[in-house]
Structure 1
Amino acid sequence: LFCFKSSGIILGCTLLPIRVFLAWILLIAAWIVAVPRLAGLSQEERSKPLSGWRRWLFHPILWLLGRAVFFCVGFHWVKVKGRKADVKEAPILVVAPHSSFLDMVIMFPAGVPSVVSRSENINLPVIGALLECNQSVLVSRRDPESRKEAVSELNKRVTSDGSWPQILMFPEGTTTNGRCLLRFKTGAFVPGVPVQPVVLHYPNELVNAVNTQINVCLFIVLQFLPVYTPSEEEKKNSRLFAGNVQKVMASALGVPASDYVMAGRIPVSKLNDLSVPLEARLDLPFTKSGLFIMMIDRMIDRCRSGAEGTKASAEELASILGLNKKTAIHICSLYSKDDTVDLRHIYFNMAALIGHVDEISLFHSAFAAFDREGRGSLTKEELTELMGALLGVPQQSTEELYDTATEDQEQLTEESLLLVLTTHPIYQKVTKEILQSKGLPSANGTSVNNNRSLLNSSVNEDKKSE
């Protein structure tokens, strides 16, 4: 064990700096090639597939430089099984599992197809220019209109009879440990065109930054499965299409096909358009004490104060809840991608969990908190924030819930929303299982809460430090 750790440290100290240096040199070289590829083109011309010298001159150079980057990272040889389908056979390549950024090595055996990427990535140095050069489809996960535009653009490309390059997508939508396949998002399956499943096999037990540093070379097997042509029923039902492709890929990998998706770091199930956590988000060991009630009151006072607002940093959250900074940062990470959090989300989630107020009072307080202008109604965006606070996980969209609650009226009032949440055959499960703090059952029928051990350990650390 000592020899293994020593060799890992030595290889990490020598290989990592060399690999990072060479990779960045090659990425900068690729950026230099990518910029002139689109030079002189108007926005309208950039919305069309590249052709002529802009494709045949730059494409092989970018392929070579990109493959060289992954050679430096450690992929000296990539084993490929099966045959990659032509763009006319399968306009979309769906790849799983998605373990890390290293999965992008598939770009080169696949011929550098276009990809679907977060719109925020276009602002990254070098990477943004490469995405633009690749004519990637950009989408903002937080903007429903952006998602609609992305679906429209995707549909246009995959029905162009081969004019556009293939589109490569990771249908899980997030990175996982590869031990099961998360439920596929439907984006790749909405157009209803044939797709080619591609599965990734890593002979290494784990593939992460540590392995990259301490291994001289990395191994991967890319397996192109037969093209999956949807039936007429699957063309009309993208959820069915996605589920059947997921099962085919899970079978090829020898892993289970899960019906769960991920909201940030939290596994959730779907109730129509709502993401419902499989477990309680927070369960502090002192939630029943009077001390905790005082902390809750302080959080409410902070939310009501116009000066400081509802946003709090990890340091402020630690002070309010009496936690150490490590735990506060972890809590922030559950609700956002930075070290800040909306205190309303934490308050309503905690209040629901500990029964600080009854569910009707909690709902009334939540509605008032997100009705910013005090008009007695909520917009779609405010409803999305409200349900995110009550359920404890960010919601991408609540459009179905909004339409259901406003079916007979123009505005979403507190009464109409509460009526749907307490009487609708699907949405009433939210009220019963979340607002009444019963939690969601695990696979064996028992309630689970994996956050307890982490928070208990953090409190123990506080006691030790004292």
Structure 2
Amino acid sequence: MERIDDGYSATQEYPHPFIHKMKLTRAQRIRGFILGSILFPIRVTLAVLFFLIMWPIARLRLAGLSEEERSKPVEGWRRWFYHPIIWLMSRAVFFSLGFYWVKVKGRRANLKEAPVLVVAPHSSFLDMLVLCPAQLATVVSRSENTSLPVIGALLEFNQSVLVSRKDPESRKKAVAQLNERLTSDGYWPQMLMFPEGTTTNGSALIKFKPGAFLAGVPVQPVLLHYPNKLDTVRWTYKGTDWALGVPATDHVMEGGVPVSKVGGLSLPLESPARETLTLLHKNGLGAHEVQAALDRMIDRCRSGAQGAKVSAEELASILGLSHQQTAVHICGLYSKDDSVDLRHIYFSVAPLTGCVDLKTLLHSAFTLFNREGGGSLSERELSDLMEALVGVPQHRIADLYAATSDQNRLTEESLLRVLTAHPTFQKVTKEYLQPEEAAGTLSNRRSVNNNGSVYNNSKKSE
């Protein structure tokens, strides 16, 4: 399979794939309220009824089988009897939710032609409707979903590949299962995957996760249709042309944060530093107060006596905030727990205020993150430094490290040179390490797609 992107003009509007805004007229709101109050209870009741009927039937398919038998594809009467029932009930669920007819274009590749069906764009859980025309192809799901009522039974019925995002060993096991099934030469049923790995608003195609693709294993694209066509992402499969009316991007979701990928770096679409600065201004802190708070932060980091990690309560005191809830919000922008590293706030916010120039900022960061001393950063230290500068974790900085290091030595001068002159990595300094007046808001920045075409994101989709 080959993917081909049509050109996309830099003057055209590029939509944000993770934000969806709607403006309803008064008539639409009234109609939605009236019809919703009548149809919603009916639709939900019917869907729940069909789900309750499916639940015990799905459990019966594997009832009485040993673990060894469950590890093999279900065949015989258990397949030809139970499979059509669950398929019809699944279609009935979607029919009750308003999906009366499904129009299918093209021909579904058989198991020998394509062991994998990749579906995009992934916009909601209702995209599972595609399982009906795909004859309930096997899926990959989070292992946590098996504990959910009905859903767990359906995943068991489907003999899904289960993976826990919290357990690295579970991921390895899932990859091994996928390899076994996709290279079984038709022994296992066809699989269906959403390679984006998360849901978007359907206005753009974000970067695919590599897990949906194995070397030498053919896949067939299944493109979901949406009415807001902006451009065409085209695919070819065995001479058949597939087209979807949305642009392709380098955006991806990492750790629950939407980012774009540039040279291996993860750059947040919504800068936590800019949101932090906005929150401080809303709480009455002017430029002078913000600068004073940043000075207190860097002094605390340099002292080393108390450490750079602080609680929300301590952060509120350092920032001079009267409401601790704002400090809690700021902690949440940079960390998943109730504490935050002051270095991350300082080095991402300070350049936006214009109170420190880039050379001085990098010197301070280099000093604080160079744990071993000696004037050279390790790859791990560079990863921590870049996380502080852009506000999100950096897991793959090998390209940046290779570009900045000389014989495994990464000096302050070489890092400054690469971040200001390298055609790829200077994006960081231009968009994240410049005063707001010079850089503009991130919603106005330009995004680059997988093929290097440029999108002008001057407005957000509404």
**Residues 430, 439 of structure 2: 8 Å contact kept:** no
Partner SS state of residue 116, structure 1: strand
Determine whether 1:59 maps to 2:83: yes
- The residue aligned with 1:276 is 267
Shift of 1:51: 2.4
Question: Matched residues in 2 for 1:419 and 1:139: separation?
Answer: 44
Q: 1:422 to 1:311 in 2, by over 3 A?
A: same
Among residues 243, 246, 251, which one is paired with 1:255 in the alignment?
246
Determine whether 1:8 maps to 2:32: yes
Question: Matched residues in 1 for 2:268 and 2:97: separation?
Answer: 37
- The residue aligned with 2:180 is 156
Question: Matched residues in 2 for 1:440 and 1:396: separation?
Answer: 20
Task: Kindly report which structure 2 residues correspond to 1:206-285, keeping only aligned pairs within 5 A, or say none.
Answer: 228=237, 249=242, 252-263=243-254, 264-272=256-264, 274-277=265-268, 280-283=271-274, 284-285=277-278
Question: Matched residues in 2 for 1:129 and 1:317: separation?
Answer: 47
- The residue aligned with 1:349 is 348
Shift of 1:261: 2.9
- The residue aligned with 1:359 is 362
Determine whether 1:33 maps to 2:36: no
Shift of 1:173: 2.2
Question: Matched residues in 2 for 1:437 and 1:75: separation?
Answer: 47
**Residues 366, 385 of structure 2: 8 Å contact kept:** no
Task: Kindly report which structure 2 residues correspond to 1:23-422, keeping only aligned pairs within 5 A, or say none.
Answer: 23-141=47-165, 145-203=169-227, 228=237, 249=242, 252-263=243-254, 264-272=256-264, 274-277=265-268, 280-283=271-274, 284-285=277-278, 286=281, 289-293=287-291, 295-296=293-294, 312=312, 322=321, 342-343=340-341, 345-351=344-350, 353-354=352-353, 358-366=361-369, 388-395=387-394
Question: Matched residues in 2 for 1:323 and 1:192: separation?
Answer: 60
Question: Matched residues in 2 for 1:390 and 1:43: separation?
Answer: 50
Q: 1:146 to 1:390 in 2, by over 3 A?
A: farther
Shift of 1:386: 6.6
Name the aligned partner's letter for residue 200 of structure 2.
T
Name the aligned partner's letter for residue 58 of structure 2.
A
**Residues 183, 260 of structure 1: 8 Å contact kept:** yes
Partner SS state of residue 128, structure 1: helix
Shift of 1:189: 2.0
Aligned pair count reads 396
**Residues 180, 257 of structure 1: 8 Å contact kept:** yes
Question: Matched residues in 2 for 1:333 and 1:388: separation?
Answer: 15
**Residues 261, 269 of structure 1: 8 Å contact kept:** yes
Q: 1:408 to 1:95 in 2, by over 3 A?
A: same
Q: 1:80 to 1:308 in 2, by over 3 A?
A: same
**Residues 98, 178 of structure 1: 8 Å contact kept:** yes
Shift of 1:32: 2.1
Q: 1:428 to 1:340 in 2, by over 3 A?
A: farther
Q: 1:384 to 1:143 in 2, by over 3 A?
A: farther
Measured against aligned partners, the alpha-carbon deviations of 1:347-380 in whole angstroms (never above 9, x if no partner) come to: 5533465466722322443566xx9xxxx99997
Name the aligned partner's letter for residue 42 of structure 2.
I
Shift of 1:126: 3.1
Partner SS state of residue 291, structure 1: helix
Name the aligned partner's letter for residue 7 of structure 1.
R
Shift of 1:197: 0.8
Shift of 1:282: 2.5
**Residues 440, 448 of structure 1: 8 Å contact kept:** no
**Residues 141, 396 of structure 1: 8 Å contact kept:** no
Partner SS state of residue 164, structure 1: coil
**Residues 272, 334 of structure 2: 8 Å contact kept:** no
Question: Matched residues in 2 for 1:63 and 1:426: separation?
Answer: 57
**Residues 85, 227 of structure 1: 8 Å contact kept:** no
Name the aligned partner's letter for residue 11 of structure 1.
L
Partner SS state of residue 186, structure 2: coil
Shift of 1:75: 0.4
Question: Matched residues in 1 for 2:184 and 2:327: separation?
Answer: 50
Partner SS state of residue 261, structure 1: strand
Measured against aligned partners, the alpha-carbon deviations of 1:86-113 in whole angstroms (never above 9, x if no partner) come to: 1111100011111211111001010111
Shift of 1:9: 0.3
Question: Matched residues in 1 for 2:420 and 2:81: separation?
Answer: 55
Shift of 1:328: 7.3
**Residues 405, 414 of structure 2: 8 Å contact kept:** no
Question: Matched residues in 1 for 2:123 and 2:175: separation?
Answer: 24
Question: Matched residues in 1 for 2:412 and 2:68: separation?
Answer: 47
Question: Matched residues in 1 for 2:102 and 2:317: separation?
Answer: 47
Shift of 1:167: 1.3
Partner SS state of residue 129, structure 2: helix
Question: Matched residues in 2 for 1:399 and 1:146: separation?
Answer: 26
Q: 1:342 to 1:179 in 2, by over 3 A?
A: same
Shift of 1:74: 0.9
**Residues 261, 268 of structure 1: 8 Å contact kept:** yes
- What TM-score do you get using the length of structure 2 for normalisation? 0.66
Partner SS state of residue 115, structure 1: strand
Work out which structure has the larger RCO, using CA pairs closer than 8 Å and 6 or more positions apart in sequence. 2
- What TM-score do you get using the length of structure 1 for normalisation? 0.66
Shift of 1:158: 0.8
Shift of 1:170: 1.5
Measured against aligned partners, the alpha-carbon deviations of 1:316-342 in whole angstroms (never above 9, x if no partner) come to: 879967498998787677557x89674
- The residue aligned with 2:449 is none
Q: 1:123 to 1:96 in 2, by over 3 A?
A: same
Q: 1:416 to 1:383 in 2, by over 3 A?
A: closer
- The residue aligned with 1:439 is 432
Structure richer in helix, relative to its length: 1
**Residues 405, 420 of structure 1: 8 Å contact kept:** yes
Measured against aligned partners, the alpha-carbon deviations of 1:26-79 in whole angstroms (never above 9, x if no partner) come to: 223323223333334454443332223332332222212221211121101111
Question: Matched residues in 1 for 2:142 and 2:208: separation?
Answer: 17
**Residues 26, 69 of structure 1: 8 Å contact kept:** yes
